[in-house]
Amino acid sequence: MQPHSDTPARKGPRILLMVLLAIGAFFAMPPLVRWWNPAAGAFDVGTLNAPVLAALQFFAAVSMAFVAWRFLFPVLYAYVRESMEEKLFEKLTADLISQLPSAELANANSIFHAAERRRIAQFQFLIRCVRFLFSLLPFFVFLVLATRMVNSALTIVPH
């Protein structure tokens, strides 16, 4: 596998932009609601800021999980990226379809050999799919851990 030229420096501004947009939306919501409805008295954080806070939490968790997965498991990241760029599932499905015998080769011996080749191709497809899912597993684990961490940080109540 070749290393990819997609460096974190290229994605850094996009991640920072998303975080800044989420923070901006969080602080812009109360004045916008009061402008829209001047009778909106006290602004309850639990009603209108909850979706904004959830978006901020989501962006933070996904960013932390992606950065951890990208830098701690670069080989798995490269494999997933390569698989997605090559459209792995479409390519392998086309390989399986190509194993079917044509109408002129429809004698008993060639059908048996074609069936064996198809079973081998299906097994290879299964192995590639499992490798793809196992390559994504660290990202999902990091996503769960990051979500728990952000949730814990946002719900700590000082005594």
CA–CA separation, 88 and 80 (whole Å)? 10
Predicted local confidence at residue 96, as pLDDT: 62
pLDDT digits (tens, 9 = 90+) for 96-134: 666 665 555 555 566 677 777 778 778 877 888 888 888
Predicted local confidence at residue 156, as pLDDT: 65
pLDDT > 90 in the chain, percent: 0
pLDDT digits (tens, 9 = 90+) for 63-79: 888 888 889 989 888 88
Q: Which residue type is seen at 43?
A: F
Predicted local confidence at residue 129, as pLDDT: 82
Tokens of 137: 């597993």
- Name the pLDDT band for 150 (thresholds 50, 70, 90): confident
Continuous segment of H or E residues that includes residue 79: helix 74-85
Cα 116 to the center of its chain, rounded Å: 36
Predicted local confidence at residue 44, as pLDDT: 58
Is the model more confident about 14 or about 8?
A: 14
93, pLDDT greater than 70: no
* The pTM of the whole model exceeds 0.75: no
CA–CA separation, 102 and 110 (whole Å)? 10
Predicted local confidence at residue 104, as pLDDT: 56
Question: How far is the CA of 20 from the CAs of 11, 26, 35, 47, 72, in angstroms?
Answer: 14, 10, 22, 22, 26
155, pLDDT greater than 80: no
CA–CA separation, 17 and 25 (whole Å)? 12
Predicted local confidence at residue 116, as pLDDT: 76
